[in-house]
Amino acid sequence: MDYIKFQLTEELREETLDLLEKSKKGKLKAGINEVTKAIERGTAKFVLIAEDVSPKEIVMHLPVICKEKNIAFSYVTTKTELGEKSGLGANTSAVAIIESPVDKELKELAKKIAELRK
């Protein structure tokens, strides 16, 4: 996939999903338009993008603007998994974590992912 900039280890993938599930008690934005707005406004702390989005062009801009705004981002295998773990009850292509009860853990995960991207 063109928009997938790095591959997560299985351990990081599990940690990402675990933190997303814990973050659903906070404040999330779901869907490409809402996530894009959250990134552009600088309110997103962490962005998750599904890997099975089709056509891929609808999410290709997300990693680019996340890098521009210095916002951590990662990937989740499927839209279904992303929707379930974020508590939406519907598939979604992207989720932005705005507020989370596990901010410290999210920052640590962001550091690990930043190391992967180097």
Residue among 98, 96, 110, 76 at smallest CA distance from 33: 96
Non-local CB neighbours of 37 within 8 Å, separated by 6+ positions: 29
96 within domain boundaries: yes
5 within domain boundaries: no
Give the whole-angstrom CA distance, residue 95 versus residue 73. 10
- Overall domain count for the chain: 1
89 within domain boundaries: yes
Would you call 34 exposed, middle or buried from its count of C-beta atoms within 10 A (0-12, 13-18, 19+)?
middle
- For residue 24, the enclosing domain spans 10-117
pLDDT of 13 reads 87
**50-77 pLDDT tens trace:** 999 999 899 999 999 999 999 999 989 9
107 within domain boundaries: yes
Give the whole-angstrom CA distance, residue 25 versus residue 23. 5
